């Protein structure tokens, strides 16, 4: 049974300041919790109703507290309109990364992306296309926002997301041998551009695009053309849709 203190703690994790304070986040649903358990993230609680089949879950840490509760208590700690039968509370992992891995691969940089659904979808896109690192500006929406967690659909278990100063990051890695790509209306058509197997792909804010600070650091501007080019179409693409198109073209070149 859930205690009042546990309900208070888990409910508070819907707010960033309490996630930061306790270094915990909440995941809901059998598939998402299964993926996170398989990633060996440290698990604090697994809370479930009688209806949930927890015997099929992957092995979890012996310190994990398993709590059975009724649907009314589970609803108190859920962020969903229709709660699942199972909720997990996980430890936020460290944000270390291997510089050698970055130097040899593609990474996505998110410049002040604000919509939780966009961030969650981009994490899924990165996972699908085998991109293992996403670097976010400090003003990008919080990865552990419940809406982001749900939108990742478990991809969070396989993609490392790091919040950092993007200008300093690009200054450190960017070079003639390590290109920095960005999407612009005045860029070169992506389908005719030279694309590397390593580098940074910068995706900008939903309304403002890539910031003035990062624009001068982009070594190759890419443009996703509409079709047909002489016909009026939508003014722009959603950032997660654009990211998917860009990542797909990079990977297509490697086939």
Cα 160 → chain centroid: 8
d(CA 132, CA 161): 8
pLDDT, tens only, 51-95: 888 888 887 666 789 999 999 999 999 999 988 899 999 999 998
**Could you tell me the two tokens for 116?**
């939780």
pLDDT, tens only, 215-246: 999 999 999 998 877 787 787 899 999 999 99
Strand partners of residue 200: 107, 180
d(CA 50, CA 85): 8
- Looking at residue 62, its pLDDT comes to 65
**Mean of per-residue pLDDT scores for the chain:** 93
**Could you tell me the two tokens for 127?**
């996972």
d(CA 230, CA 134): 35
Give pTM, 2 decimals: 0.93
For residue 108, CA distances in Å to 38, 116, 133, 178, 180 come to 24, 16, 7, 13, 10
**Cβ-Cβ contacts under 8 Å for 93 (sequence gap 6 or more):** 41, 42
CB 78 within 8 A of CB 14: no
d(CA 43, CA 61): 6
- Looking at residue 161, its pLDDT comes to 97
| CA dihedral over 165, 183, 117, 127, signed as positive or negative | negative
* Cα radius of gyration (the chain): 20
Q: What share of the chain is helix, strand, coil (3-state, %, to 5)?
A: 35, 20, 40
Among 149, 148, 124, CA closest to 134: 124
**Could you tell me the two tokens for 86?**
């199972």
- Looking up tokens 């693409």 gives 237
- Looking at residue 32, its pLDDT comes to 93
pLDDT exceeding 90 applies to what percent of the chain? Answer: 80
Domains by residue range for the chain, with CATH: 4-91 (3.30.1330.30), 99-254 (3.40.1280.10)
For residue 23, CA distances in Å to 12, 15, 16 come to 12, 12, 10
Mean pLDDT of 162-168: 97
């Amino acid at each position: 049974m859930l205690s009042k203190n546990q309900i208070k703690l888990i409910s508070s994790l819907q707010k960033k300041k309490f996630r930061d304070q306790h270094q915990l986040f909440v995941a809901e649903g059998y598939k998402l919790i299964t993926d996170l358990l398989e990633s060996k993230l440290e698990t604090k609680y697994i809370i479930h109703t009688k209806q949930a089949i927890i015997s099929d879950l992957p092995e979890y840490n012996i310190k994990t507290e398993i709590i059975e509760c009724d649907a009314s208590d589970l609803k108190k700690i859920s962020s969903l309109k229709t709660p699942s039968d199972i909720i997990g509370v996980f430890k936020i992992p460290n944000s270390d990364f291997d510089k050698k891995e970055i130097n040899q691969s593609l990474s996505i940089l998110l410049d002040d992306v604000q919509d939780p659904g966009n961030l969650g979808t981009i994490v899924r896109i990165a996972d699908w296309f085998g991109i293992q690192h996403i670097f976010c500006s400090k003003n990008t929406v919080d990865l552990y926002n419940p809406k982001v967690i749900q939108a990742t659909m478990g991809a969070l278990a396989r993609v490392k997301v790091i919040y950092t100063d993007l200008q300093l990051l690009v200054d450190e890695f960017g070079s003639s041998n390590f290109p920095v790509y960005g999407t612009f209306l005045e860029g070169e058509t992506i389908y005719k551009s030279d694309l590397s197997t390593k580098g940074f792909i910068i995706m900008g804010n939903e309304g403002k695009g890539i910031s003035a600070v990062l624009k001068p650091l982009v070594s190759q501007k890419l443009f996703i053309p509409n079709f047909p080019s002489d016909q009026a179409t939508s003014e722009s693409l959603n950032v997660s849709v654009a990211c998917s198109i860009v990542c797909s073209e990079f990977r297509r070149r490697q086939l």
